[in-house]
Structure 1
Amino acid sequence: MKRPLLVLFLILLIGCKGEDRNKAEEKDKSNSDSIMESDISLDDLINEDNIELNLNEANKLAELPLACVNTVYPNKLGQTLGSEKDLKSPKELHPAFYGCFDWHSSVHAHWTLVKLLKHFPKLDRATEIKEALETSLSKENIQAEIAYFKGEHNTDYERTYGWAWLLKLTEELYTWDTDMGVELSENIKPLADLIVQRTTEFLPKLNYPIRVGEHTNTAFALSFAYDYAVATENAEFRTLIEESARNFYLKDKGCPMAWEPSGFDFLSPCLEEIDLMRKILPKAAFSLWMDNFMPQLKKSDFTLTPGEVSDRKDGKLVHLDGLNFSRAWVFYGLANKYPEDYSHLKNLADKHMQHSFPNLVGDSYEGGHWLGSFALYALQESKAKK
């Protein structure tokens, strides 16, 4: 029972570490260091019936997401330059999502902040968190993001990984039943609508799914988009995703799991496909599909070695920690929805989580700025009733 508490404690400690850039950021780092060095007793956090993050620990964990969203540099813009006029600072280009190394990771961080505040509305720094969210997700900033996306050279910007995380953030706001949740949901909706439009235009043109272990993985994007469509009751978008998933994956057989992972994977092409099909197929159809696609997962002795990171200073190699977390959330999803066939996968998910958590603390910024969100999502899936 104690392991998940350690998980939840570590998640946001490492999620948004940045380098000192000015006095304000030095203060943020000082706060972060004091959190990381504090002597926390797990016994103080455990209820034998439930494992919950208490308010005191949540107050400490809230420090780093607050600092991350305002950490501009280092920054990877990933933009196409049309002219010298496009040479602007990250904050000018992306007033809502300029921190945390890159655009999609800034969206990660905002999702994490919303998640914390939703579950702990009485956080000591709740006012500051609200101010940070209201500043980032103001109508003006979101309109500026929309203007960027509508630029001549930006029609495929952040396709499809950043699109997926933007919809996940919007889903989190949409389901936040407070005045602030309603306000921010309304603010971000035009950008989400644009992402839905872009996705709707793109999917019919995609003749073949992208089966890689990094950002452009189609199954991952469709999975998050499906969650958004269900939460917002967008029947047309949901139907498009379901039809696309069936067209892409329904006839797949014998996924070559032995070929995984590739060196920079943070997603499993095989498992992300399973995660998506678990969501869209009825029970009987999914069972038959799995018998063809990856029948070995039903075996109680199925095993899978966690990804190993050889150099923690290399941001691309650290992707393999993300792979361990994303594998875990797929295993948790299967075990929770169909325990009669997949309950044994919970232990395998736990092993993947355990393998990468100790490596998160003290990680380089290129890894730490995003891995916490993956760990948090995996933990969410471990408790989800699907």
Structure 2
Amino acid sequence: MKKFLVLIASVLVMGCKGDNSNNLEEVSNSETDSIMEEDFIPDSILGVDKIKFNIEEANKLAELPLNCIETEYPNKLGQTLENADAIGEPQELHPAFYGCFDWHSSVHAHWSLVKLLKQFPGLEKEQVIREKLKKSLSEENIKSEVEYFNRKESDSYERTYGWAWLLKLAEEVKTWNDPLGEEINENLQPLTNLILQRFQEFLPKLNYPVRVGEHSNTAFALSFAYDYAEATQDQELLELISKRAKDFYLKDDDCPVSWEPGGFDFLSPCLEEVDIMQKVLPKNAFNLWIEDFMPNLKNEDFTMEVGEVSDRSDGKLVHLDGLNFSRAWVFYHLANKYPQEFSHLESLANEHVAYSFPNLVEDSYEGGHWLGSFAIYALEKSKGKE
């Protein structure tokens, strides 16, 4: 019955918007959600202090992608070979995204550098970063990446995690008011278009969502693709993501959060679902939905123990540091967007970040080649009301 009410609430709010009902961001900020939420932001954060995301930390974080985007080996290609001629060196196959151990980690390493440049003008190695981005994301290199994706056996290559991070990179350069950003955006556009096409072809065919805590998690991909669609005002993609998210998750009840984390998780299956649903549902509908899906999330004493890492030199076990960051960005997002209901999650987010953040810079390559991006995204979400 409650799921029916969620659907009705969603429809009623959309109806109030007339022809603009497809603009999901506008819907979620409709007059029905007009409580002065700023009044509920706490004056101070209880518990663990928030990590300061300042230029000092940014300089340290920039070292992680700088140290790996041109590091070709070790390398995990994740390649399906159609014939012997398909074998090649990583830099030959992926001239833009050959470093950082695997393709998707290289993509979000490049995203990290763009994000840090945008947010912190005057980085110590700003010029070095610019030169590396210009070299790596050249028109010729991106053309070769497109050619790889168009290989016979590459239809599902990096589906859907790498696709999602490519759109996150595209979103970042499209919103970068800088000559280099404009140049990279133009160079990247053919690959962006290809990934958009892959999403549009694949999502209607996916009968059931993938609910794991690793790369193939559907909710994670939908959430990042939604951000791109919102930033670029791609209404067709917004509508597709909204429909698929509701198809997959609207009827879900009682997410088994006590089963988390799995030993190799870097995403929370429950919280990733929460993240996409708070984007596609207006506030009243989301509140009804969350009462069925994770009813304890609104309790001020809600807690989740941090994912504990036993060996950071193990590429799978160190995933749990990523889990701490990805949980944190969901908590921060909720606390900033709906502080009346979720402000208590900010302290929980701080605890998750505080556990994993001190290990980043001195981490082994197994974590260092990718965890910086997760930390940056979590810290960016922590900065305050959106």
- In structure 1, distance between residues paired with 2:51 and 2:347: 16
- In structure 1, distance between residues paired with 2:84 and 2:276: 41
Amino acid at match of 1:252: D
- In structure 1, distance between residues paired with 2:360 and 2:185: 31
- In structure 2, distance between residues paired with 1:246 and 1:60: 40
Q: Is 2:55 the partner of 1:53?
A: yes
CA spacing shift, 1:126–1:358, aligned 2, 3 Å: closer
- In structure 1, distance between residues paired with 2:352 and 2:242: 29
- Native 8 Å contact 2:62 2:112 kept in 1: no
Shift of 1:65: 2.6
Q: Is 2:377 the partner of 1:383?
A: no
Q: 2:31 corresponds to which residue?
A: none
Q: Is 2:89 the partner of 1:77?
A: no
Local SS of the residue matching 1:180: helix
- In structure 2, distance between residues paired with 1:321 and 1:123: 26
The two structures, once aligned, show a CA RMSD in angstroms of 1.6
Local SS of the residue matching 2:254: coil
- In structure 2, distance between residues paired with 1:271 and 1:4: 20
Q: 1:155 corresponds to which residue?
A: 155
Q: 1:214 corresponds to which residue?
A: 214
Residues 203-229 of structure 1: CA deviation (Å, up to 9, x unaligned): 111000000000000000000000000
**Higher-RCO chain (CA-CA 8 Å, sequence separation at least 6):** 2
CA spacing shift, 1:63–1:372, aligned 2, 3 Å: closer
Q: 1:365 corresponds to which residue?
A: 365
- Native 8 Å contact 1:5 1:53 kept in 2: no
CA spacing shift, 1:362–1:64, aligned 2, 3 Å: closer
Q: 1:333 corresponds to which residue?
A: 333
Shift of 1:260: 0.9
- In structure 2, distance between residues paired with 1:64 and 1:218: 27
- Native 8 Å contact 2:61 2:361 kept in 1: no
CA spacing shift, 1:351–1:97, aligned 2, 3 Å: same
- In structure 1, distance between residues paired with 2:315 and 2:258: 24
Q: 2:262 corresponds to which residue?
A: 262
Shift of 1:307: 0.9
CA spacing shift, 1:72–1:384, aligned 2, 3 Å: farther
Amino acid at match of 1:347: S
Local SS of the residue matching 1:158: coil
CA spacing shift, 1:358–1:64, aligned 2, 3 Å: closer
Amino acid at match of 1:247: D
1:15-164 aligned within 5 A: 52-53=54-55, 58-59=58-59, 61-164=61-164
TM-score by length of 2: 0.85
- Native 8 Å contact 1:245 1:277 kept in 2: yes
- In structure 2, distance between residues paired with 1:63 and 1:206: 38
Amino acid at match of 2:310: S
Q: 2:306 corresponds to which residue?
A: 306
Residues 71-111 of structure 1: CA deviation (Å, up to 9, x unaligned): 11111100011112111110000000000000000011101
Shift of 1:117: 1.4
Shift of 1:64: 4.0
Amino acid at match of 1:340: Q
Local SS of the residue matching 1:68: coil
Shift of 1:359: 3.0
CA spacing shift, 1:60–1:333, aligned 2, 3 Å: closer
Local SS of the residue matching 1:383: coil
- In structure 1, distance between residues paired with 2:276 and 2:262: 21
Give structure 2 stretches of 5+ with no counterpart: 1-44
TM-score by length of 1: 0.85
- In structure 1, distance between residues paired with 2:378 and 2:192: 23
- In structure 1, distance between residues paired with 2:147 and 2:245: 30
- Native 8 Å contact 1:160 1:221 kept in 2: yes
Shift of 1:59: 4.9
CA spacing shift, 1:296–1:89, aligned 2, 3 Å: same
Amino acid at match of 2:362: G
Q: 1:190 corresponds to which residue?
A: 190
Amino acid at match of 2:270: C
250-259 or 119-128: which moved more? 119-128
Shift of 1:182: 1.1
Shift of 1:362: 2.8
- In structure 1, distance between residues paired with 2:272 and 2:312: 25
Residues 268-307 of structure 1: CA deviation (Å, up to 9, x unaligned): 0000000001111100000000011101000001111111
- Native 8 Å contact 1:322 1:374 kept in 2: yes
- Native 8 Å contact 2:219 2:273 kept in 1: yes
Shift of 1:4: 4.1
Amino acid at match of 1:53: I
Identity %: 66
- Native 8 Å contact 2:268 2:326 kept in 1: yes
